[in-house]
Chains A and B, each alone.
Chain A
């Protein structure tokens, strides 16, 4: 099998190399080639050995960590639908329904995003970056399941082109691209992402009234209206509540967090300080719901998967503490004092993405000062 793959690659390679018939597709071909086998490139400079970790490994670890909330999201989509419509579904039916509903979102996200990434890589003559494999997986998870596919496609295109490629591609972006997609939907198509019916598949279009007394409101919405979350802490922790596809289960997200922290792929400093910031701010401003805030809405998902994005977060270790803490604080402030939009996590992270370079500048400054102080000459 292995030999067959390598032989096929060798056979196709001339066609896709520069000068070959399909030479203009060489970036695309290389993307698949290096996916199948770690390439035979060797070190050129004075360093002769390199660690066996590469960006593919880092990114696939993140995707691995995203799987628990994704699986839970599939089940919960079916479960919420069956609740709303009074259906008596079992585990498998719920999961199958969720899978059937999320698959189009995933396909649209990857096809649109990777399509642009491949085209840009091709135009630049670079290798295709792995970054979008994570972004494209996250985007459906932070959207309501009922989002129209064309809105999703537009938001992905916006995020990839204006969030990433115009800055120079992976590693150069200022904002987390997945959050930018979500922000795009929020500001450009507010009707798609607000209200109480959009969180449950089928509810928006349902002609007949659903089960008596059923409300599709998310805890954050209920909290904003009534001052209580409307669901028990345990419900929200486990996640069988309405919400974006992948964000509801703090439990599943915690499993993902364990994978990220254990493998060292995400910064524990950001996660911990984000938690501390949120708890601290909630104690001050909304002491009745301190712990609820941690399991409501997108806080857990944002703190674990989005705030820790290494490119758009703070680059310095001290900066990571400040950056994470302020995300936590801002998230709670926005939730409590911003009537227009109850979910503060998205805006908190995007705002701190913007501030991260400033934080880093302040952190790096003392090192520069020390260096200037010991300078024997001044120019």
Chain B
């Protein structure tokens, strides 16, 4: 197995890493399917309030490609169809049955002998297809495309994120079936990338894949960074990516014929009373998930009582879903950190700021490299133009000049965006650039705007 060593990046040491134990299985009172989880999808609703659905039955489909549907993870009754402004579909809420009724799909006994068409049909009709994400742009893969490679990152390197090795430790057989099936879709290889550090990944046992170990700080676990080192995307290339837990679901679908997307997720962050793992379904209310451990309510920072931020995902790539939000379709972590709506008197002028970490050596947190910090959502300063140069490059292990790319996006210059690598990045890959930026630029939003512009212009 080849090891690729990345030197650039940053491992943030935050308080609230999850302990390796599965506490319980969450049984929610309601489960939501959210169109906002799926980038670029315009939903066509296929159910109405009061309908009964089975696990694996579509609740809505993509208007632009009706083959791609989005399934209910449970069987039950459609409790509510929630709409927002201009009747925009916000969520389909489903009350689960006591025992799950699965929609039946035809299992495939021997994946190695099946054709791409057979497998594709199962993935599409069950709704698992939505797990396959394409690069460029990070949208759901098109069934008509043939990617030049399929790349799977088998580890998270982001702070407070779930340990995938732990979450999928019992699923290797199902994942093997899934990678065998996915191999039919590409003319190239199926890459599985594991962490060179820490415990050996159970996925090193996989056959029929190209295993690579990545060594180095975050974002070494980001699939976009890995693609840049394995099979860089040029204009016109398509690479597919998929998360390990979706592979488990695909394996179960092909072997048993059911849509079972239950997964092991982490509850992390300093505002959770206990940090651990639980089993649950995507679309489970965050409130039900965190009820398993409890939330630290009374926390004061600089004399001000501050609230909790509920993130579906991790602090460097996640959605602020709020207390009443739901676990995202693709997410494997729920992170609870403090909100940052406090004022710190002369914070910027303090010689040493003991409560905060900085990548910059103008503070002295580099003297205590092992210390862990409480995360909060304060921006720690106001937005300014780009001033400092050479900083983003220190945390981005890719052949990209980030500021050039960002300026090309800001000026909406498509040709320059192509030249500076818009096809190779998603916002999550530049998350650390935004983190370290002293000008507090919304780097990830700029990247997303660039991708949206490309989608619009290239459509």
User: A residues near B, CB below 8 A?
Assistant: 2-3, 5-6, 34, 36-58, 60-61, 127, 129-131, 168-172, 262-265, 267, 310-311, 313-317, 320, 364, 367-368, 370-378
Contacts and interface: CB of A to CB of B under 8 A. Distances in A.
A266 to B, nearest CB: 10
Given A48-B320, A54-B438, A58-B362, A38 B343 contact: yes
B237 interface: yes
Contacts of B379: 39, 41-43, 50
A368 B387 contact: no
B236 interface: yes
Nearest to B238: A376
Interface in B409-450: 418-421, 427-428, 431, 434-440, 442-445
Contact of B359 (A51, A169, A267, A310): A51
A176 to B, nearest CB: 13
A42 B349 contact: no
B444 A46 contact: yes
Nearest to B446: A45
B337 A49 contact: yes
17 contacts: A6-B345, A38-B378, A42-B309, A42-B340, A44-B445, A48-B318, A50-B380, A52-B347, A53-B358, A54-B384, A58-B438, A171-B385, A171-B439, A310-B388, A310-B389, A371-B419, A375-B235
Given A45-B444, A264-B362, A376-B236, A54 B427 contact: no
A39 B419 CA distance: 37
Nearest to A61: B362
A48 B309 contact: yes
A40 to B, nearest CB: 4
Contacts of A56: 348-349, 381
Interface stretch (B125-133, B169-177, B194-202, B397-405): B397-405
Interface residues of B, number: 80
A49 B269 CA distance: 12
Nearest to B433: A47
B62 interface: no
The 3 A-B pairs at the shortest CB distance, nearest first, are namely A54-B381, A171-B385, A377-B236
A37 B445 CA distance: 26
Nearest to B337: A48
A38 B360 CA distance: 17
Given A51-B438, A61-B362, A375 B234 contact: yes
Most B Cβ at <10 Å: residue of A45, A46, A267? A46
Nearest to B439: A55
Contact of A34 (B361, B382, B401): B382
A42 B339 contact: yes
A48 B315 contact: yes
B393 interface: yes
A376 B237 contact: yes
Given A45-B444, A45-B445, 18 more contacts: A6-B345, A39-B379, A45-B434, A46-B427, A48-B375, A49-B12, A49-B377, A51-B437, A52-B356, A52-B358, A54-B438, A58-B388, A127-B382, A320-B390, A371-B419, A373-B234, A376-B148, A378-B235
A44 B440 CA distance: 11
B325 interface: no
Most A Cβ at <10 Å: residue of B236, B237, B342, B385? B385
A368 B382 CA distance: 33
A88 B256 CA distance: 99
Most B Cβ at <10 Å: residue of A39, A171, A374? A39
Interface in B89-144: none
Given A6-B345, A41-B382, A45-B442, A263 B316 contact: no
A377 B418 CA distance: 12
A169 B427 contact: no
A45 B358 CA distance: 20
Contacts of A370: 399
B232 interface: yes
B342 A50 contact: no
Given A38-B348, A39-B382, A53 B401 contact: no
Contacts of B345: 2, 5-6, 36-37
Nearest to A44: B442
B316 A49 contact: yes
B383 interface: yes
Contacts of B344: 37-38
Contacts of B356: 52
A46 B428 contact: yes
A40 B377 contact: no
A48 B303 CA distance: 22
